Structure 1
């Protein structure tokens, strides 16, 4: 077979942003973003506060609508749908169906305070996926064991530490078996001593799972350890991207060099320096 006739085996992106702009009035948050994310890829987004990285995730979760451009998820338009050959704005049914392929864990846990941990994890399985309660509890128990909370299934959120609550939120997202998982600075609201337990859970998920993961983080060591690729955003654009070694050991742009120098060379208090570099209050 000639080279011209060979079929490409390169994977297709599971997420594709094309020409995405997001603005609020005159303030432009993202500028004509083009980005491909591949099946199983672990992608870390780093950058100062207000650089656009969280907006990238919020657009994918349909929490924000793009001003212009398109997003595809698993080969299907997210914010648009085809009706009789015409591309129209997506209705809520279409958004809900495509969004079902995506899980997200936020900075804040958003657990139901009046529900036990078990019920917090099973609620969507029963009411969104339509599983019977026995099967939902079986899956939830297995996932809670995976994140180290099997002994807390009958507790309420008020009885847990911040790190434990965040692990419940992770279990709740994972049990829905998404193809893409978003983690939006999931440790920024935690006390420093609780950060490690959450990051270790995410590292374990990254090592075991084949789903794509987008990690918005101010924890640079974590990004270096977990990510296949790192994007540095600033001013609503991707300034630099590469492997963790390229980004952290050989940064090319002055903006990335300045960003990294705030904490990579910045004294013993890495936690405080890391949060400051990301624009997060200590």
Structure 2
């Protein structure tokens, strides 16, 4: 099943997973996944821990290799490359080039503690994109202003709150101007009072640009507000997908209904309204 809610006439998918299976030893975490993501589309992945959500992102970032199946990004194979009229396993040069279209923000910030905030953001611009220091600084400053941290450029990560560190990580990924951004439970390591500032930044990014986004989250209100399409994964498959209204107000599968019952409560008109419980298992 594929709704392709944002799909325009004759529009080609930006990212395509075809029959993707991923196993770790005897445990299969993705089972012949088919998924298309279109330019500008915002996808929210929800589901219980171990359902395959993060693996979907890690395969796209080449942090994990698929057991079988193919992934295309911008019309190019990610894990395979042309060789003598056929497709062979991709070498590191090919992986690096195709992967450059993708940005990711993780649960943990992974900032360089010995570098200022500005240098954390400019490092890849200078060493990967080969920009001059002045060009990199200018682009980084614009991005840090966008995430509300332009006054902290000379600070070090240890001087920032968890929410500020995560906003630096977001700026560092966005400054590379990827075609698709992955956000993997970016608030799960934050104190509850810091969650809102990070989600507000991501919402602003979603509203301002045409960049595709994959949002792995247990924040149901956030998924409802930001996503064009919500996918519920469980047992390594996409069990159900639809608009936020369809998923949260009229879930069809018993598995999704059970999952949402941990987050949702009935409101006065009988519809379901989302509520993230403090300390809810991811």
Q: TM-score range by the shorter chain?
A: over 0.9
Residue 128 (structure 2) aligns with? 128
SS at the partner of 1:17? strand
Alpha-carbon shift at residue 271 of structure 1 (Å): 4.0
Contact 2:42–2:215 under 8 Å retained in 1? yes
CA distance in 2, matches of 1:248, 1:67: 32
Partner of 2:9: 9
**How far apart, in 2, do the equivalents of 1:228 and 1:36 lie?**
13
**TM-score, normalised relative to structure 1:** 0.93
Look up the match of 1:83.
83
CA deviation profile, 1:171-219 (whole Å, cap 9, x unmatched):
0000000000000000000000000000000000000010100000000
8 A Cα contact 1:192 1:271, kept in partner: no
Distance in 1 of aligned mates of 2:275 and 2:42: 23
CA deviation after TM superposition for structure 1 residue 265, in Å: 1.6
Q: 2:277, 2:98 → 1: CA distance?
A: 38
Segments of 5+ residues of structure 1 without an aligned counterpart are 1-7
Task: Determine whether 1:263 maps to 2:268.
Answer: no
Corresponding residue of 2:57: 57
Q: Which residue of 1 aligns with 2:196?
A: 196
Counterparts of 2:243 and 2:277, CA distance in 1: 25
Following TM superposition, by how much is the alpha carbon of 1:11 offset from its aligned partner in structure 2, in angstroms? 0.9
Q: Which residue of 2 aligns with 1:272?
A: 277
Match of 2:68 in 1: 68
- SS of the counterpart of 2:202? helix
Counterpart in the other structure of 1:246: 246
Q: Distance in 1 between matches of 2:24 and 2:155?
A: 42
Contact map agreement 2:221 2:276 (CA 8 A) in 1: no
In the alignment, the residues of structure 2 paired with residue 37 and residue 23 of structure 1 have an alpha-carbon distance, to the nearest angstrom, of: 23
How far does the alpha carbon of each residue in 1:36-61 deviate from its partner, in whole angstroms, 9 at most, with x for none?
00000000000000000000000000
Structure 2 unaligned segments of length 5 or more: list them: 1-7, 268-273
1:101 aligns with 2:92: no
* CA contact 1:53–1:216 (8 Å) conserved in 2: yes
Structure 1 equivalent of residue 159 of structure 2: 159
Within 1, Cα distance between the matches of 2:168 and 2:116? 11
Deviation at 1:9, TM superposition (A): 3.3
Instruction: Indicate the residue corresponding to 2:44 in structure 1.
Output: 44
Per-residue CA distance 1:107-153 (angstroms, 9 max, x = gap): 00000000000000000000000000000000000000000000000
Alpha carbons 2:46, 2:231 under 8 Å: kept: yes
- The offset of 1:272, in angstroms, is 3.2
Shift of 1:23: 0.3
Give me the TM-score of the superposition, normalised by structure 2.
0.93
